[in-house]
Amino acid sequence: MDETTSLTEVAATKDPTERKAPADAQPTRKAVKKKSTIAKLAIICVLLMAGMIFAFCPMRFGFTKYSPFINSINLGLDLEGGVYAVYQATNTDTDNFESKMEGTRSALENLLVSKGYPEATVVREGSNHDRIRVEVPNVKDTSAILNIIGEPAQIAFVLDNTKETVLTGEDVVGAQAFYSANDGGYVVSLELTSEGEDKFYTATSNNIGQTMSIIVTIGGESTTISSPKINSAISGNAVISGGFTADSAEKLANQIMSGTFDVALELKESETISPTLGKNALKYGLIAGIVGFALVIAFICVVYRMLGVAASLSLLIYTVVYLFFLATLPWVQLTLPGIAGILLSIGMAVDANIIIFERIKEEYRNGKSIMAAYHAGFKKALFAILDSNVTTVIACILLMLLGTGSVSGFALTLLVGVLISLFTALLISRAFIRYFINLNSYNDKLYNLKRGTMYAGLSADSTDAAIAQAMQLEEDIKKQRKEEKQKEKELSRKAKVANKEKNKGGETA
């Protein structure tokens, strides 16, 4: 036997406490390209610093002033100030109430956007969806907004050549979008009263080839929503065609129905929020976020050391990417619940890293080298992280679909944060840890890793031979089972051939 004891022989020792590597046994360490690793880390850190500067620091380039994209995030009513109002329909006992309410909501939203309030939100609420809630941030003249909202929409069918009003909302019973094979696409069908049918027939028969504009008026503001051409005299219900999609046809039908809304909206509650309150709330929310972020980074760096440093760098990249998406996604409007969603997603990003680190510690404790524990830790933590985050994503989607206002804003910011956290935890953190291990794969204290009692004699970059033997034994068993299954298949095939030959009356081998 050689004087140098092999790992296999150490693993075979009966007493676990005797599994100590001899002092003269030096582990074989793979040469790594440390210079290239350092260069990669330096490039990433430079890009991270540039991202932080572009995210938070205003700058001037010649005559151009750059505003950081954190300033481009749309703020909600509770942060920027403004006005909100809740209106209720005074009479819900009317035909096609659902379509009329949805049409009114759509018309109000379009009007506020056209008046220069793109951040305005108009949603329906209430047990019967008989209320309309309007939130308009950054409003100076709140009384003008309330006056516009309080007036119902009006619809008019006007001949373009004579400017004659042919029909009003009182003549329209309903409007419905559907697919018509005869017209080769989606169309909008108009159902008119008997008096409206007479008016329409007279107007269309005398103006064949002319156009008729459909005009919606709210608060004195008129908008032409469609200008169909009159192809023939229409004696009954009319059909509007012209290359509609399902969504555009449904939108036009709702807009027409909004003009038939014959019940005014009654103001139930309204409130003006001061911009000062919003700025204070935003300031304290940011302070809470920064303090919490700093405490989280300090905690993971103390507990996991270089693994925590890798996670901290990953979290900084996460923050820059998160702010970029909040600034560029047009439907994001940051509110106080939205800030809560951001903080919660940061916590979930840290949680994913901790799951991975605990897996790495467990693998190292059970005898694997630092590099092997790193690979196994990420592999085994993957499905646990995906499962926990998929449930959160499903909950966010449901809240966005079913919730309104601040609930929907909270769900959206949390959803964006969770998706970005998955990217940074599974890819960015992994890259940083790999680079650190390339620089030092033999000092387990650097990563706060500890061996179990059974493997205390193994160096940090050695692999326990007992584990290797167990893995080889498992492979041998799988191979043996595979061979047995192949033999069974071969015997079954021969038996079938023999039975077939016997049934034919021939001799069998």
- Contact of 255 with 222, CB cutoff 8 Å: no
Is 150's pLDDT higher than 60? Answer: no
Task: Provide the residue type at 79 as one letter.
Answer: L
Residues 6+ apart with CB under 8 A from 24: 4
Question: What pLDDT, on the 0 to 100 scale, is given for residue 2?
Answer: 44
Range name among 124-138, 342-356, 479-493 with the lowest pLDDT average: 124-138
Q: Residue 6 corresponds to which amino acid?
A: S
Q: How far apart are CA 142 and CA 307, in angstroms?
A: 53
**Euclidean distance between CA atoms 117 and 498, whole angstroms:** 84
Question: 296, 350 in Cβ contact below 8 A?
Answer: yes
Strand pairing category for 185-192 and 238-244: antiparallel
pLDDT at 24 over 70: no
Q: Greater confidence, 238 or 447?
A: 447
User: Which alpha helices (H) appear in 207-335, and where do they start and end?
Assistant: 246-258, 275-304, 306-328
Tens of pLDDT, residues 181-200: 877 788 888 888 888 888 88
pLDDT in the model for residue 356:
92
Question: Which pair of structure tokens corresponds to residue 320?
Answer: 């820059």
In the predicted structure, residue 237 carries a pLDDT above the cut 60: yes
Triad 230, 232, 238: Cα angle to 5°: 70
Which pLDDT value is given to residue 394? 92
Structure confidence at residue 300 (pLDDT): 92
More confident residue, 256 or 259: 256
d(CA 102, CA 131): 11
Structure tokens at 80: 């920027």
Spatial CB neighbours of 94, under 8 Å, sequence gap ≥ 6:
100, 262, 263
Check: CB of residue 507 under 8 Å from CB of residue 501.
Answer: yes
pLDDT of the residue at 316: 92
Task: Tell me what pLDDT residue 29 has.
Answer: 42
Tell me what the mean pLDDT of segment 126-142 comes to: 77
Mean of the per-residue pLDDT values of the chain: 78
Write the CA distances from 305 to 91, 301, 364, 384, integer angstroms: 66, 5, 15, 23
Q: Per mean pLDDT, which range of 63-67, 211-215, 366-370 is the poorest?
A: 63-67
Structure confidence by residue, pLDDT tens digits, 82-92 = 788 888 877 77
Share above pLDDT 90 across residues of the chain, in percent, rounded to a whole number: 11
- Please tell me which residue, 392 or 271, carries the higher pLDDT value: 392
Res. 359: pLDDT tops 90: yes
8 vs 221, which has greater pLDDT?
A: 221
pLDDT of residue 428: 92
pLDDT at 310: 93
The values of phi and psi at residue 62, to 5°, are 65, -120
Q: Can you give the pLDDT at residue 420? A: 92
Identify the sign of the CA torsion 34, 40, 44, 46: positive
CA dihedral 144, 147, 153, 154 (to 10 degrees): -90
pLDDT on residue 307: 93
Is the torsion defined by CA of 306, 307, 310, 315 positive or negative?
negative
In angstroms, the CA 25 to CA 7 distance is 10
Confidence class for position 464, pLDDT limits 50, 70, 90: very low
Give the E-state strand segments of 170-236 in sequence order: 172-180, 185-192, 212-218, 221-226
The pLDDT assigned to 242 comes to 77
Q: Can you tell me the distance from the alpha carbon of 338 to that of 479, in angstroms, rounded to the nearest whole number?
A: 54
b (16+ CB within 10 A) / e for 128-160:
ebbbbbbbbbbbeebeebbebbebbbbbbbbbe
**Beta strands of 59-208 (E only): which ranges?**
59-61, 64-66, 82-89, 121-125, 131-137, 154-159, 165-168, 172-180, 185-192
pLDDT digits (tens, 9 = 90+) for 26-81: 444 444 468 888 998 999 999 999 988 888 888 887 777 888 878 778 777 777 77
Burial (CB < 10 A; 0-12, 13-18, 19+), residue 468, is middle
118 versus 212: which is more confidently predicted? 212
| Per-residue three-class SS string for 361-380 | HHHHHCCCCHHHHHHHHHHH
Tally of CB atoms within 10 A around 319 = 22
251 or 376: which carries more pLDDT confidence?
376
Residue with tokens 């929907």: 408
How far is residue 106 from each of residues 190, 208, 240, 246, 253, measured CA to CA in Å?
19, 31, 20, 16, 11
For residue 150, CA distances in Å to 9, 127, 270, 310 come to 88, 21, 12, 56
* Res. 442: pLDDT tops 60: yes
Task: Report how far residue 473's alpha carbon sits from residue 471's, in angstroms, rounded to the nearest whole number.
Answer: 5
The whole-number average pLDDT for the span 170-178 is 81
- Give the rounded percent of residues in the chain with a pLDDT score beyond 70: 81
Task: Identify the DSSP state of 94.
Answer: S
Task: Give the Cα separation of 326 and 69 in Å (integer).
Answer: 9
Confidence band, pLDDT 50/70/90 cuts, at residue 151: low
Report how far residue 335's alpha carbon sits from residue 320's, in angstroms, rounded to the nearest whole number: 19
> What's the pLDDT score for residue 146?
64
Among 433, 442, 314, 306, residue whose Cα is nearest residue 378: 433
- Between these two residues, 251 and 378, which has the higher pLDDT value? 378
Tell me what pLDDT residue 5 has: 37
Residues with Cβ within 8 Å of residue 393, at least 6 apart in sequence? 415, 418, 419
Give residue-wise pLDDT tens across range 282-298: 778 778 878 888 888 99
pLDDT 10s digits, 394-403: 988 988 887 7
